[in-house]
Every structure is written in C-alpha cells, then in structure tokens.
Chains A and B, each alone.
Chain A
C-alpha cells in the first residue's frame, strides 16, 4: 500500500489525501530547513578553511550549533518597520522569498519515485518559480524606502532577468536530449548515456558546455559571489536587506540558502545523473539512490562555497556583458548544435507527434 493510500483508508478520500500530502510536505520542508542550517555552517567552514582560519568552532561540537544560535539571536530581536515604508509590501517580500524557496522543492526527485509532485512540466515549474524569486528582492528594495535597498533591488531585477534568458536555453538543450520536461525522466535519460557506462549529461561532450554555463548561471540566479551585486556589502551595505531586522531578515536569509541548496540539487538532476551513481555498474547501485543524490548535492555545495571563497565580485557592466553578450549567444548557438545533432542522429524519430 502506498503512503497516501494508507492515509486515505484511515481518514477517507479528501482528508486522507490532504493529511498525506501535508505529511509529505513537512517531510521535505523540515529536512530542507535543517539542511539550510548545516549549509550555512558548511559555507562558513569551507570559506574559513580556504582563508586558513578556523571558522565557527565555539557553539556546540565543532561549532555545529552556530547557525541555531544565530537564528535564536535573530528571533529575539525587534522587528523594525521604517517610517515611509510601504508596510504591506515590506512585510510580504521576505515571505515571498521564503515560500518560493520551499515551494520549488515539490518537484525534486530525491530517488526513483521519491518525489512529491511528479509533474510532467516539472522543469518549467522550477523555471517559473525561480523566475518569480526576483519579486521578493525587488519588492523589498522598493518598499524599504531606502536608496541602498532600492539600488539593490534594481540591480537584482536586471541581473536575474538577464541570466534567466540563457538559463532557459540551457534547459531547452537538456529537455531536448531527454525528450521530457519531467525531472525523473530527465534523470533516467542520463542512465548510461555516455559510452553506455557513464551516467550523466556532464560527461556528454554535446552537453558539457551547457553544464558549465548552467553552473555559472545558477551562481548568478542565486545572487552568490561573484554575482552578489544586489547585496554587495561594500557598496550597498547589504542591498535590499538593509532595512530588515529580526525574523523578516531571517526569512530572507533562509530563503536565499534554501534556493542555493535547491540549485545544488538541480545541477546534479540535470547534468550529473541525479540519484544514479556516476558509473552504470551494478555494484554501485547497492548504495541507495538517495545517498548518491545527497553526495552530489554536497559536492555542488562545496563548489558553490569554493567559488565564493576564491572569486572576486564582478563589476556591474561586466556582469551584464557576460549575461547578454557571452552566455546568450553561446547558449543559443549551442541549442542549435544540440538540436541539429539530435535531429541528424535520429534521436527524435520515436518521439510522439513526429510526422
């Protein structure tokens, strides 16, 4: 009996379905929140290690509880709403950021069949939700009634819209290769797709450039260094977050890291073979897919932290140049290459709806 089936039997059709999904949502959201706390810790530790410091090491064993202490401190602080702020929009902005960062996890397959909503437009859903993420930032920037926050909001709006364009083309290449928008299908299409032994689009010379571009685009989408101009602390104090305190700031912070974690999960799903082991070799399948997935996520997060620790921030015109003059033509050209190659090798011959 399925999990949902058990609930429906116990509580009837409607309430059972509702309770089952509520339980599943909590089963995703709670680990994500714990993951965010650990990710913040890991980020600081990796960053410290690269600068030959110790990083957080006081609160709890190895400083593991540092994030929780920080959260508790934020929780105790006073929520300040600036005079002249547009109160409704000001309070809604962090909520939007936080909710969108959690909502997007609904379609992520953690293992074969282990997914809350197996949408057949899963990839578009992710794209839609992540493109809405800009509203939290732009609304907070405007509603704060502060010049720093406003500049941060404008920067981020321009930046995220610019990089979404090339991100869209990269996703097009992946979905053409998988012939599906469903994330589970995309993962399964990577099974042994390179020389019959390697699992993962990243090993495929056709999609390798897309994987590299996607990683950089994702850094820009999540406002991570070297693209953290919306919150550039040296120029804008903290950008759009400058007027926020207490839990409203904490929601931004949690949302931002939940987004980063999600992108760390999305890159493996699209390019590293998701829950599949890197080699299509029977003994490797003994390790559960979930473990592979988490390991790949951790690897991607390390790469994120690595970039943050080593690369200096871009200048704004350079950021725009990279987005519009380098990534957009390159990804568009590569979509043509990928679709041409797939067309001439007969990849689409079996697709439904082909004349």
Chain B
C-alpha cells in the first residue's frame, strides 16, 4: 500500500514537473507546479513527516503559489519568444542538472566528512511520547537555533530589500486616514452661517 502510494505520488510529481516546463500557457504551468507541490507533500506524509507536509501545503500551495499565479495571470508574456532560445541553452541546462544529480548521488551514497570535521549525527526519529511537531520544535529552537535565526534574518533582509526597491511615494494621492475621521466631532466641522442680503458666507 505504501509502495503504491509512493509510486503514485512520485509519478504525479515528476509528470507535473515535466508539464511545468512544457505547458504552452504560463498559467497552466503554475497550476502544474501547484500539483507538483501537492504531491511532494504526499511524499512527506509517506515518510511520516506530517508536519512538514502540512507546512509545504500551507506555505507553498497556499501562499507562494497563489501570489505567483496572481502575477502570472496579470502579466502578458509572449512565451513563444521566450521558448525560442530554449534549444540553444539546452546543453548548458543539461550540464548544470547533471552536476547537481552527481552531487546528490555522491552525498547520499557513502560520503563521509573529513577528519576533524564535526557533523551532527543524523537524528533517528522522534523519541517516545513526542509527536513529530514537538520534536521538530524542540530541535529547531535548541540545537539548530543559530541556523534557524540566520535563515530568519536572511528572509527579513530580503523582505526589507524588496519593499525598499518597490516603494514609491506618489504625489497628489488622497488617502483615507480613519483615525482623523473618527476624531472629527460636530463642533469642529459644523457651523451655522448667516448669509446677509447679496453676500455669500465665509467658509
């Protein structure tokens, strides 16, 4: 049963990954990408990492891909023109992916750290009486706290950078200030003016 589920998810993951780069329509590409994320979450569940699976769906499917889809829908890209150069760059792409594949194979098959290099031993699994989620939390905020906070700082820097680059002040824009509106009282805004004959009222 688990083997069937694995092959199902893995097959769908690879197929949708392939469809992402071959689909004609960019919006369809993003939709295939979402299916790929979803199947990756399924693989996590088979591994018993239900917390990671849910996070993958929440963060990537629920937030990142929505914004991605949002942008792709709004853009008017001529994908035909973009794809024209694809064959020219094919050898380069194949070379890069070949190197990455070779590195993954080297790491997973009998790679050992050098003499004197301290690497944390791989954790076997959650201890008795602890759920997956509690275990990740207890490791992430103690053992890997430095790495975790560095990752957080990097994201913060990226966010600040993005805002600084895109923020602009437009002139002549009237914005609603709700606090000012709420602070208004009749005494400050209403008045009874008396217009004399042939004269207007001073406002």
Residues of A whose CB lies within 8 Å of any CB of B are 14, 86, 89, 119-121, 124-125, 127-128, 131-132, 134-135, 138-139, 142, 150, 153-154, 157-158, 160-161, 164, 168, 181, 317-318, 321, 351-355
A89 to B25 CA separation, bound complex (whole angstroms): 12
Q: Please determine whether B58 and A127 come into contact, CB atoms closer than 8 angstroms.
A: yes
A125 to B41 CA separation, bound complex (whole angstroms): 12
For A138, list chain B residues within 8 Å (CB). 66, 69-70, 73
Instruction: Check: B83 CB closer than 8 A to any chain A CB.
Output: no
Instruction: Check: B55 CB closer than 8 A to any chain A CB.
Output: yes
Q: Which one of B27-35, B151-159, B191-199 is at the A interface?
A: B27-35
Size of the B side of the interface (Cβ < 8 Å), in residues, is: 33
Q: Please determine whether B134 and A161 come into contact, CB atoms closer than 8 angstroms.
A: no
For A157, list chain B residues within 8 Å (CB). 66-67, 69-70
14 A–B contacts, CB within 8 A, in A order? A14-B1, A120-B133, A121-B132, A124-B58, A128-B58, A134-B62, A134-B66, A154-B74, A161-B67, A164-B62, A318-B178, A352-B134, A353-B138, A354-B138
Q: B28 touches which one: A89, A181, A318 (CB < 8 A)?
A: A89
A86 to B26 CA separation, bound complex (whole angstroms): 13
A161 to B69 CA separation, bound complex (whole angstroms): 12
Proximity string of chain B (110-131) to chain A, C-beta cutoff 8 Å, 1 when within and 0 when not:
0000000000000000000111
Q: Which of chain A's residues has its CB closest to B63's CB?
A: A161
Q: Which of chain B's residues has its CB closest to A133's CB?
A: B62
Q: Please determine whether A181 and B25 come into contact, CB atoms closer than 8 angstroms.
A: no
Q: Please determine whether B57 and A128 come into contact, CB atoms closer than 8 angstroms.
A: yes
Residues of B whose CB lies within 8 Å of any CB of A are 1, 25, 27-28, 31, 34, 50-51, 54-55, 57-58, 61-63, 66-67, 69-70, 73-74, 129-135, 137-138, 142, 176, 178
- Closest chain B CB from A320 CB (angstroms): 12
Q: How many A-B residue pairs have CB under 8 A?
A: 86
A318 to B178 CA separation, bound complex (whole angstroms): 9
Q: B62 touches which one: A132, A139, A318, A321 (CB < 8 A)?
A: A132
Q: Please determine whether A135 and B50 come into contact, CB atoms closer than 8 angstroms.
A: no
Q: Please determine whether B134 and A124 come into contact, CB atoms closer than 8 angstroms.
A: no
Q: Which of chain A's residues has its CB closest to B67's CB?
A: A161
Q: B70 touches which one: A119, A127, A158, A168 (CB < 8 A)?
A: A158
Q: Which of chain A's residues has its CB closest to B25's CB?
A: A86
- Closest chain B CB from A352 CB (angstroms): 5
Q: Please determine whether B178 and A121 come into contact, CB atoms closer than 8 angstroms.
A: no
For A355, list chain B residues within 8 Å (CB). 138, 142
For A158, list chain B residues within 8 Å (CB). 70
